[in-house]
Structure 1
Amino acid sequence: MKKILAVFAVFGGVLMSADIEDNTLKAIFENFEKSSKNDTIQAGLSPRQIELSNLAVIIASGSLRLWQERVEKSELKADEIMELLRQSTAYLGMARIREFIFITSEIYKRKGVKITDFALDSDENRLKNGQNLQIELFGSATTQSMSGDYAQIGRYLSQNCFGDYYTRTEILSLDEREIITFFLFGCVG
Protein backbone atom coordinates (compact mmCIF):
# COMPACT_ATOMS: atom_id res chain seq x y z
CA MET A 1 0.00 0.00 0.00
CA LYS A 2 2.85 2.40 0.78
CA LYS A 3 4.22 2.08 -2.77
CA ILE A 4 0.78 2.85 -4.22
CA LEU A 5 0.62 6.00 -2.09
CA ALA A 6 4.07 6.95 -3.36
CA VAL A 7 2.83 6.64 -6.94
CA PHE A 8 -0.02 9.03 -6.26
CA ALA A 9 2.28 11.43 -4.47
CA VAL A 10 4.72 11.45 -7.35
CA PHE A 11 1.94 12.08 -9.85
CA GLY A 12 0.80 15.02 -7.72
CA GLY A 13 4.27 16.55 -7.80
CA VAL A 14 4.47 16.20 -11.56
CA LEU A 15 1.10 17.79 -12.19
CA MET A 16 1.91 20.87 -10.15
CA SER A 17 5.09 21.67 -12.05
CA ALA A 18 3.05 22.93 -15.01
CA ASP A 19 1.52 26.39 -15.30
CA ILE A 20 -2.19 25.82 -14.87
CA GLU A 21 -4.53 28.71 -15.68
CA ASP A 22 -7.74 26.92 -14.66
CA ASN A 23 -8.09 27.97 -11.00
CA THR A 24 -10.38 25.07 -10.08
CA LEU A 25 -8.03 22.48 -11.52
CA LYS A 26 -5.03 24.27 -9.98
CA ALA A 27 -6.71 24.15 -6.53
CA ILE A 28 -7.45 20.43 -6.95
CA PHE A 29 -3.81 19.77 -7.90
CA GLU A 30 -2.55 21.82 -4.93
CA ASN A 31 -4.83 19.97 -2.51
CA PHE A 32 -3.66 16.64 -3.90
CA GLU A 33 -0.02 17.62 -3.66
CA LYS A 34 -0.37 18.80 -0.04
CA SER A 35 -2.17 15.67 1.09
CA SER A 36 0.18 13.30 -0.71
CA LYS A 37 3.56 14.82 0.16
CA ASN A 38 3.87 12.98 3.49
CA ASP A 39 2.77 9.71 1.88
CA THR A 40 5.80 9.81 -0.39
CA ILE A 41 8.17 10.29 2.53
CA GLN A 42 6.43 7.55 4.53
CA ALA A 43 6.78 5.18 1.56
CA GLY A 44 10.54 5.49 1.93
CA LEU A 45 11.43 7.29 -1.30
CA SER A 46 14.32 9.74 -1.05
CA PRO A 47 14.08 13.20 -2.67
CA ARG A 48 16.41 11.92 -5.43
CA GLN A 49 14.18 8.89 -6.05
CA ILE A 50 11.12 11.12 -6.11
CA GLU A 51 12.74 13.37 -8.73
CA LEU A 52 13.75 10.39 -10.87
CA SER A 53 10.18 9.09 -10.55
CA ASN A 54 8.72 12.46 -11.53
CA LEU A 55 10.93 12.61 -14.60
CA ALA A 56 10.04 9.03 -15.59
CA VAL A 57 6.34 9.89 -15.29
CA ILE A 58 6.84 12.90 -17.55
CA ILE A 59 8.73 10.82 -20.13
CA ALA A 60 6.02 8.15 -20.12
CA SER A 61 3.31 10.80 -20.51
CA GLY A 62 5.09 12.24 -23.55
CA SER A 63 4.90 15.84 -22.33
CA LEU A 64 7.86 17.63 -23.90
CA ARG A 65 6.91 21.01 -22.41
CA LEU A 66 6.64 19.61 -18.90
CA TRP A 67 9.95 17.77 -19.43
CA GLN A 68 11.76 20.95 -20.44
CA GLU A 69 10.36 22.87 -17.46
CA ARG A 70 11.32 20.11 -15.04
CA VAL A 71 14.83 19.52 -16.42
CA GLU A 72 15.58 23.27 -16.34
CA LYS A 73 15.03 23.35 -12.58
CA SER A 74 16.01 19.79 -11.60
CA GLU A 75 18.78 19.35 -9.04
CA LEU A 76 19.84 16.08 -10.68
CA LYS A 77 23.09 16.15 -12.63
CA ALA A 78 23.04 16.18 -16.43
CA ASP A 79 24.55 12.66 -16.58
CA GLU A 80 21.81 11.36 -14.25
CA ILE A 81 19.05 12.81 -16.41
CA MET A 82 20.66 11.51 -19.61
CA GLU A 83 21.02 8.07 -18.04
CA LEU A 84 17.31 8.14 -17.20
CA LEU A 85 16.60 8.91 -20.87
CA ARG A 86 18.92 6.14 -22.03
CA GLN A 87 17.17 3.58 -19.85
CA SER A 88 13.74 4.85 -20.93
CA THR A 89 14.66 4.07 -24.52
CA ALA A 90 14.70 0.33 -23.77
CA TYR A 91 11.12 0.43 -22.52
CA LEU A 92 9.45 3.17 -24.56
CA GLY A 93 11.43 3.02 -27.81
CA MET A 94 13.79 5.33 -29.64
CA ALA A 95 11.02 7.20 -31.43
CA ARG A 96 9.34 8.18 -28.15
CA ILE A 97 12.59 9.27 -26.46
CA ARG A 98 14.24 11.06 -29.39
CA GLU A 99 12.68 14.50 -28.82
CA PHE A 100 13.38 14.29 -25.09
CA ILE A 101 17.06 13.70 -25.90
CA PHE A 102 17.16 16.66 -28.31
CA ILE A 103 15.54 18.99 -25.76
CA THR A 104 17.82 17.81 -22.97
CA SER A 105 20.95 18.16 -25.11
CA GLU A 106 19.96 21.72 -26.04
CA ILE A 107 19.41 22.65 -22.38
CA TYR A 108 22.85 21.39 -21.40
CA LYS A 109 24.59 22.91 -24.44
CA ARG A 110 23.07 26.28 -23.52
CA LYS A 111 24.27 25.85 -19.92
CA GLY A 112 27.74 24.72 -21.06
CA VAL A 113 27.38 21.31 -19.39
CA LYS A 114 29.08 18.33 -21.03
CA ILE A 115 27.31 14.98 -20.95
CA THR A 116 29.51 11.92 -20.39
CA ASP A 117 29.54 9.14 -22.96
CA PHE A 118 30.14 5.63 -21.68
CA ALA A 119 31.69 2.75 -23.58
CA LEU A 120 29.56 -0.39 -23.72
CA ASP A 121 30.81 -3.92 -23.21
CA SER A 122 31.04 -6.41 -26.05
CA ASP A 123 27.83 -8.14 -27.15
CA GLU A 124 28.94 -11.31 -25.37
CA ASN A 125 29.65 -9.52 -22.07
CA ARG A 126 26.44 -7.50 -22.24
CA LEU A 127 24.48 -10.74 -22.64
CA LYS A 128 26.39 -12.62 -19.93
CA ASN A 129 26.26 -9.74 -17.43
CA GLY A 130 22.60 -9.11 -18.16
CA GLN A 131 21.71 -12.77 -17.66
CA ASN A 132 23.70 -12.93 -14.42
CA LEU A 133 21.87 -9.91 -13.05
CA GLN A 134 18.48 -11.34 -14.06
CA ILE A 135 19.34 -14.58 -12.25
CA GLU A 136 20.45 -12.61 -9.19
CA LEU A 137 17.21 -10.61 -9.14
CA PHE A 138 14.64 -13.16 -10.27
CA GLY A 139 16.23 -16.61 -10.14
CA SER A 140 17.42 -18.91 -12.92
CA ALA A 141 13.90 -19.78 -14.06
CA THR A 142 13.65 -16.31 -15.64
CA THR A 143 16.43 -16.83 -18.17
CA GLN A 144 15.52 -20.49 -18.72
CA SER A 145 11.93 -19.58 -19.62
CA MET A 146 13.19 -17.48 -22.50
CA SER A 147 13.94 -20.29 -24.91
CA GLY A 148 12.40 -21.70 -28.05
CA ASP A 149 10.05 -19.16 -29.63
CA TYR A 150 10.95 -16.64 -26.94
CA ALA A 151 14.75 -16.93 -27.21
CA GLN A 152 15.11 -13.72 -29.23
CA ILE A 153 13.05 -11.74 -26.71
CA GLY A 154 15.06 -13.25 -23.86
CA ARG A 155 18.32 -12.29 -25.54
CA TYR A 156 17.09 -8.74 -26.08
CA LEU A 157 15.99 -8.40 -22.45
CA SER A 158 19.24 -9.84 -21.12
CA GLN A 159 21.57 -7.99 -23.46
CA ASN A 160 19.82 -4.65 -23.79
CA CYS A 161 17.53 -3.96 -20.86
CA PHE A 162 19.78 -5.58 -18.27
CA GLY A 163 23.22 -5.69 -19.94
CA ASP A 164 23.14 -2.14 -21.31
CA TYR A 165 21.30 -0.44 -18.46
CA TYR A 166 20.74 -2.29 -15.19
CA THR A 167 24.36 -3.47 -14.88
CA ARG A 168 25.67 0.06 -15.32
CA THR A 169 25.44 1.45 -11.80
CA GLU A 170 28.04 4.23 -12.03
CA ILE A 171 25.34 6.91 -12.25
CA LEU A 172 22.06 5.29 -11.26
CA SER A 173 21.84 2.53 -8.69
CA LEU A 174 19.98 -0.72 -9.25
CA ASP A 175 17.22 0.47 -6.89
CA GLU A 176 16.88 3.73 -8.83
CA ARG A 177 16.69 1.85 -12.12
CA GLU A 178 13.93 -0.37 -10.72
CA ILE A 179 11.99 2.70 -9.57
CA ILE A 180 12.38 4.28 -13.02
CA THR A 181 11.14 1.12 -14.73
CA PHE A 182 8.18 0.91 -12.35
CA PHE A 183 7.09 4.46 -13.20
CA LEU A 184 7.72 4.07 -16.95
CA PHE A 185 5.49 0.98 -17.06
CA GLY A 186 3.00 2.39 -14.59
CA CYS A 187 2.30 5.38 -16.80
CA VAL A 188 2.24 3.82 -20.24
CA GLY A 189 -1.04 2.28 -21.21
Structure 2
Amino acid sequence: MVYRKPENLNGGIKMNLYVTDPEFMERFEHVTFEEVPHEEGQQLEDKTRYMAILATLIGCQGMEEYRLVLPRALDAGLSPIAVKEIVYQAVDYLGIGRVLPYLKASNSILESRGIELPLEGQSTTTQENRLEKGIQAQADIFGGHVKEAWKAGHINRWLAANCFGDYYTRTGLDLAQREMITFCFLAAQGGCEPQLIAHAAGNMNLGNDKEFLIRVVSQCLPYIGYPRSLNAIHCINKAVDAGKEI
Protein backbone atom coordinates (compact mmCIF):
# COMPACT_ATOMS: atom_id res chain seq x y z
CA MET A 1 0.00 0.00 0.00
CA VAL A 2 1.34 3.42 -0.95
CA TYR A 3 -0.09 6.55 0.61
CA ARG A 4 1.10 10.02 -0.22
CA LYS A 5 -0.04 13.58 0.19
CA PRO A 6 -2.84 14.33 -2.32
CA GLU A 7 -1.54 17.09 -4.55
CA ASN A 8 -4.79 18.07 -6.23
CA LEU A 9 -8.20 17.85 -4.65
CA ASN A 10 -11.66 19.32 -5.21
CA GLY A 11 -11.65 19.30 -8.97
CA GLY A 12 -7.92 19.98 -9.34
CA ILE A 13 -7.77 22.98 -6.99
CA LYS A 14 -4.91 22.55 -4.54
CA MET A 15 -6.02 22.84 -0.90
CA ASN A 16 -5.02 26.27 0.37
CA LEU A 17 -4.36 24.81 3.80
CA TYR A 18 -0.94 23.81 2.51
CA VAL A 19 -0.32 27.54 2.13
CA THR A 20 -2.12 28.97 5.15
CA ASP A 21 -1.35 26.21 7.67
CA PRO A 22 1.83 24.42 6.53
CA GLU A 23 2.98 23.23 9.97
CA PHE A 24 -0.42 21.77 10.82
CA MET A 25 -0.74 20.09 7.42
CA GLU A 26 2.77 18.62 7.66
CA ARG A 27 1.90 16.84 10.91
CA PHE A 28 -1.66 15.94 9.92
CA GLU A 29 -0.57 14.50 6.57
CA HIS A 30 2.21 12.50 8.21
CA VAL A 31 -0.19 10.89 10.71
CA THR A 32 -3.05 10.33 8.25
CA PHE A 33 -1.15 9.15 5.17
CA GLU A 34 2.04 7.69 6.61
CA GLU A 35 1.94 6.80 10.30
CA VAL A 36 -1.58 5.36 10.64
CA PRO A 37 -1.77 3.34 7.38
CA HIS A 38 1.66 1.82 7.92
CA GLU A 39 1.47 1.04 11.65
CA GLU A 40 2.70 -2.52 12.13
CA GLY A 41 -0.19 -4.87 12.85
CA GLN A 42 -2.86 -2.22 12.22
CA GLN A 43 -3.07 -2.22 8.44
CA LEU A 44 -6.15 -2.97 6.36
CA GLU A 45 -6.59 -3.88 2.72
CA ASP A 46 -7.32 -0.73 0.72
CA LYS A 47 -10.97 -1.38 -0.13
CA THR A 48 -11.81 -2.38 3.45
CA ARG A 49 -9.98 0.65 4.80
CA TYR A 50 -11.87 3.04 2.57
CA MET A 51 -15.21 1.40 3.35
CA ALA A 52 -14.54 1.97 7.04
CA ILE A 53 -13.40 5.56 6.53
CA LEU A 54 -16.39 6.50 4.37
CA ALA A 55 -18.81 5.01 6.92
CA THR A 56 -16.95 6.83 9.69
CA LEU A 57 -17.13 10.16 7.87
CA ILE A 58 -20.89 9.79 7.42
CA GLY A 59 -21.18 8.87 11.09
CA CYS A 60 -19.26 11.94 12.29
CA GLN A 61 -20.82 14.21 9.62
CA GLY A 62 -17.50 15.00 7.96
CA MET A 63 -18.90 16.13 4.62
CA GLU A 64 -15.90 18.12 3.35
CA GLU A 65 -13.53 15.26 4.09
CA TYR A 66 -16.01 12.76 2.60
CA ARG A 67 -15.85 14.67 -0.68
CA LEU A 68 -12.05 14.36 -0.61
CA VAL A 69 -11.93 10.70 0.40
CA LEU A 70 -14.58 9.26 -1.93
CA PRO A 71 -12.55 9.86 -5.14
CA ARG A 72 -9.52 8.23 -3.49
CA ALA A 73 -11.70 5.26 -2.51
CA LEU A 74 -12.93 4.84 -6.07
CA ASP A 75 -9.38 5.13 -7.39
CA ALA A 76 -8.37 2.40 -4.94
CA GLY A 77 -10.96 0.05 -6.46
CA LEU A 78 -13.99 0.47 -4.20
CA SER A 79 -16.99 -0.10 -6.45
CA PRO A 80 -19.76 2.48 -6.96
CA ILE A 81 -22.24 -0.15 -5.76
CA ALA A 82 -20.33 -0.56 -2.49
CA VAL A 83 -20.30 3.21 -2.02
CA LYS A 84 -24.04 3.50 -2.52
CA GLU A 85 -24.70 0.55 -0.19
CA ILE A 86 -22.70 2.26 2.57
CA VAL A 87 -24.77 5.42 2.16
CA TYR A 88 -28.10 3.58 2.00
CA GLN A 89 -27.41 1.58 5.15
CA ALA A 90 -26.37 4.73 7.01
CA VAL A 91 -29.97 5.95 6.94
CA ASP A 92 -31.05 3.39 9.54
CA TYR A 93 -28.25 4.39 11.92
CA LEU A 94 -28.19 8.16 11.44
CA GLY A 95 -31.54 9.03 9.86
CA ILE A 96 -32.25 10.60 6.49
CA GLY A 97 -31.82 14.09 7.96
CA ARG A 98 -28.08 13.46 8.31
CA VAL A 99 -27.56 11.10 5.38
CA LEU A 100 -29.35 12.85 2.50
CA PRO A 101 -26.43 15.26 1.85
CA TYR A 102 -24.08 12.27 1.54
CA LEU A 103 -26.36 10.57 -0.96
CA LYS A 104 -26.42 13.73 -3.06
CA ALA A 105 -22.65 14.20 -2.78
CA SER A 106 -22.01 10.57 -3.76
CA ASN A 107 -24.30 10.88 -6.77
CA SER A 108 -22.55 14.07 -7.87
CA ILE A 109 -19.08 12.53 -7.62
CA LEU A 110 -20.12 9.32 -9.37
CA GLU A 111 -21.80 11.21 -12.20
CA SER A 112 -18.75 13.46 -12.58
CA ARG A 113 -16.80 10.28 -13.34
CA GLY A 114 -19.24 9.25 -16.07
CA ILE A 115 -20.97 6.60 -13.97
CA GLU A 116 -24.59 6.30 -15.03
CA LEU A 117 -27.24 6.33 -12.33
CA PRO A 118 -29.21 4.51 -11.08
CA LEU A 119 -26.84 1.63 -10.54
CA GLU A 120 -27.95 -1.98 -10.87
CA GLY A 121 -30.54 -2.89 -8.23
CA GLN A 122 -29.34 -4.88 -5.21
CA SER A 123 -32.60 -5.61 -3.37
CA THR A 124 -33.42 -9.26 -2.59
CA THR A 125 -36.62 -8.88 -0.56
CA THR A 126 -40.23 -7.93 -1.21
CA GLN A 127 -42.78 -6.08 0.90
CA GLU A 128 -44.21 -9.48 1.75
CA ASN A 129 -41.03 -11.21 2.99
CA ARG A 130 -38.85 -8.36 4.28
CA LEU A 131 -39.79 -9.03 7.92
CA GLU A 132 -39.07 -12.75 7.65
CA LYS A 133 -35.77 -12.16 5.87
CA GLY A 134 -34.80 -9.42 8.30
CA ILE A 135 -35.43 -11.67 11.31
CA GLN A 136 -33.19 -14.27 9.71
CA ALA A 137 -30.44 -11.72 9.06
CA GLN A 138 -30.57 -10.66 12.71
CA ALA A 139 -30.30 -14.30 13.77
CA ASP A 140 -27.36 -14.87 11.42
CA ILE A 141 -25.52 -11.99 13.09
CA PHE A 142 -26.54 -12.18 16.74
CA GLY A 143 -27.78 -15.75 17.17
CA GLY A 144 -31.10 -17.57 17.16
CA HIS A 145 -32.15 -16.08 20.51
CA VAL A 146 -33.07 -12.80 18.75
CA LYS A 147 -35.72 -14.37 16.50
CA GLU A 148 -38.52 -13.26 18.81
CA ALA A 149 -37.14 -9.76 19.44
CA TRP A 150 -39.30 -8.20 16.73
CA LYS A 151 -42.40 -8.97 18.84
CA ALA A 152 -41.31 -6.60 21.63
CA GLY A 153 -42.93 -3.58 19.97
CA HIS A 154 -43.49 -1.75 16.71
CA ILE A 155 -39.99 -0.20 16.65
CA ASN A 156 -38.43 -3.65 17.09
CA ARG A 157 -40.63 -4.84 14.22
CA TRP A 158 -39.50 -1.92 12.06
CA LEU A 159 -35.89 -2.67 13.00
CA ALA A 160 -36.21 -6.24 11.77
CA ALA A 161 -38.16 -5.45 8.60
CA ASN A 162 -36.57 -2.17 7.60
CA CYS A 163 -32.98 -2.08 8.90
CA PHE A 164 -32.26 -5.76 8.44
CA GLY A 165 -34.89 -6.82 5.91
CA ASP A 166 -34.56 -3.85 3.56
CA TYR A 167 -30.80 -3.22 3.84
CA TYR A 168 -28.78 -6.08 5.33
CA THR A 169 -30.29 -8.49 2.80
CA ARG A 170 -29.13 -6.43 -0.18
CA THR A 171 -26.28 -7.61 -2.37
CA GLY A 172 -23.27 -5.39 -3.04
CA LEU A 173 -21.83 -5.93 0.45
CA ASP A 174 -21.71 -9.15 2.42
CA LEU A 175 -23.00 -9.51 5.96
CA ALA A 176 -19.58 -9.10 7.59
CA GLN A 177 -18.93 -5.91 5.62
CA ARG A 178 -22.33 -4.55 6.62
CA GLU A 179 -21.63 -5.21 10.26
CA MET A 180 -18.26 -3.48 9.95
CA ILE A 181 -19.76 -0.29 8.50
CA THR A 182 -22.49 -0.35 11.16
CA PHE A 183 -19.77 -0.49 13.80
CA CYS A 184 -18.20 2.57 12.14
CA PHE A 185 -21.49 4.51 11.99
CA LEU A 186 -22.03 3.93 15.71
CA ALA A 187 -18.45 4.58 16.82
CA ALA A 188 -18.22 7.81 14.83
CA GLN A 189 -21.45 9.41 15.99
CA GLY A 190 -20.95 8.59 19.68
CA GLY A 191 -23.63 8.21 22.33
CA CYS A 192 -24.57 4.72 21.12
CA GLU A 193 -22.48 2.61 23.47
CA PRO A 194 -25.03 -0.18 24.10
CA GLN A 195 -25.55 -0.60 20.36
CA LEU A 196 -21.81 -0.32 19.71
CA ILE A 197 -21.09 -3.15 22.17
CA ALA A 198 -23.84 -5.27 20.60
CA HIS A 199 -22.54 -4.71 17.09
CA ALA A 200 -18.95 -5.34 18.17
CA ALA A 201 -20.22 -8.74 19.30
CA GLY A 202 -22.14 -9.16 16.03
CA ASN A 203 -18.97 -8.42 14.09
CA MET A 204 -17.05 -11.01 16.04
CA ASN A 205 -19.79 -13.58 15.44
CA LEU A 206 -19.23 -13.07 11.71
CA GLY A 207 -15.45 -13.37 11.88
CA ASN A 208 -14.54 -9.70 12.31
CA ASP A 209 -12.55 -10.46 15.43
CA LYS A 210 -11.24 -8.15 18.14
CA GLU A 211 -7.95 -7.55 16.35
CA PHE A 212 -9.73 -6.69 13.10
CA LEU A 213 -12.06 -4.21 14.83
CA ILE A 214 -9.13 -2.50 16.53
CA ARG A 215 -7.48 -2.16 13.12
CA VAL A 216 -10.68 -0.55 11.83
CA VAL A 217 -10.71 1.91 14.74
CA SER A 218 -7.02 2.66 14.22
CA GLN A 219 -7.44 3.47 10.54
CA CYS A 220 -10.40 5.75 11.26
CA LEU A 221 -8.78 7.59 14.18
CA PRO A 222 -7.62 10.65 12.19
CA TYR A 223 -11.22 11.24 11.13
CA ILE A 224 -12.95 10.96 14.53
CA GLY A 225 -10.20 11.76 17.03
CA TYR A 226 -8.92 10.03 20.13
CA PRO A 227 -11.93 10.15 22.53
CA ARG A 228 -14.32 8.29 20.23
CA SER A 229 -11.58 5.92 19.11
CA LEU A 230 -10.69 5.01 22.69
CA ASN A 231 -14.39 4.69 23.50
CA ALA A 232 -14.83 2.29 20.56
CA ILE A 233 -11.95 0.12 21.79
CA HIS A 234 -13.50 0.10 25.27
CA CYS A 235 -16.76 -1.16 23.73
CA ILE A 236 -14.90 -3.86 21.80
CA ASN A 237 -13.35 -5.04 25.06
CA LYS A 238 -16.76 -5.00 26.78
CA ALA A 239 -18.14 -7.20 24.00
CA VAL A 240 -15.24 -9.63 24.41
CA ASP A 241 -15.75 -9.74 28.17
CA ALA A 242 -19.50 -10.33 27.76
CA GLY A 243 -18.77 -13.21 25.38
CA LYS A 244 -16.50 -14.83 27.96
CA GLU A 245 -19.33 -14.75 30.50
CA ILE A 246 -21.75 -16.67 28.30
TM bucket normalised to smaller: 0.7 to 0.9
Matched residue, 1:26: 25
Residue 123 (1) aligns with residue 152 (2): no
Matched residue, 1:52: 51
Q: CA-to-partner distance for each residue in 1:23-52, whole Å, 9 max, x for gaps?
A: 33323323433332234x734732211010
Which aligned pairs between 1:148-167 and structure 2 lie closer than 5 A? 150-167=152-169
Matched residue, 2:178: 177
CA contact (8 A) 1:60 1:92 kept: yes
For residue 171 of structure 1, what is the amino acid of its counterpart? G
CA distance in 2 between partners of 1:24 and 1:65 (Å): 21
CA distance in 2 between partners of 1:38 and 1:111 (Å): 29
Percent sequence identity is 26
CA contact (8 A) 2:131 2:165 kept: yes
Shift of the 44–109 alpha-carbon distance from structure 1 to 2, 3 Å rule, reads closer
Shift of the 129–64 alpha-carbon distance from structure 1 to 2, 3 Å rule, reads same
Matched residue, 2:104: 102
Matched residue, 2:210: none
Shift of the 35–66 alpha-carbon distance from structure 1 to 2, 3 Å rule, reads closer
CA distance in 2 between partners of 1:113 and 1:30 (Å): 30
Bigger helix share:
1
Report the TM-score, using the length of structure 1 for normalisation.
0.77
Q: How far apart are residue 134 of structure 1 and its match?
A: 1.2
- What is the CA RMSD across the aligned residues, in angstroms? 2.5
CA contact (8 A) 2:122 2:172 kept: no
For residue 36 of structure 1, what is the amino acid of its counterpart? V
CA contact (8 A) 1:143 1:154 kept: no
**Structure 1 residue runs without a partner (length 5+):** 1-12
Shift of the 69–153 alpha-carbon distance from structure 1 to 2, 3 Å rule, reads same
Shift of the 160–45 alpha-carbon distance from structure 1 to 2, 3 Å rule, reads farther
SS at match of 2:129: helix
Report the TM-score, using the length of structure 2 for normalisation.
0.61
Residue 144 (1) aligns with residue 148 (2): yes
**Structure 2 residue runs without a partner (length 5+):** 191-246
Q: How far apart are residue 56 of structure 1 and its match?
A: 0.8
CA distance in 2 between partners of 1:145 and 1:31 (Å): 47
For residue 184 of structure 1, what is the amino acid of its counterpart? F
Alignment: residue pair count: 170
Shift of the 56–74 alpha-carbon distance from structure 1 to 2, 3 Å rule, reads same
CA distance in 1 between partners of 2:43 and 2:26 (Å): 27
CA distance in 2 between partners of 1:143 and 1:119 (Å): 22
Matched residue, 2:240: none
Matched residue, 1:85: 87
CA contact (8 A) 1:49 1:179 kept: no
Q: How far apart are residue 123 of structure 1 and its match?
A: 2.8
SS at match of 1:135: helix
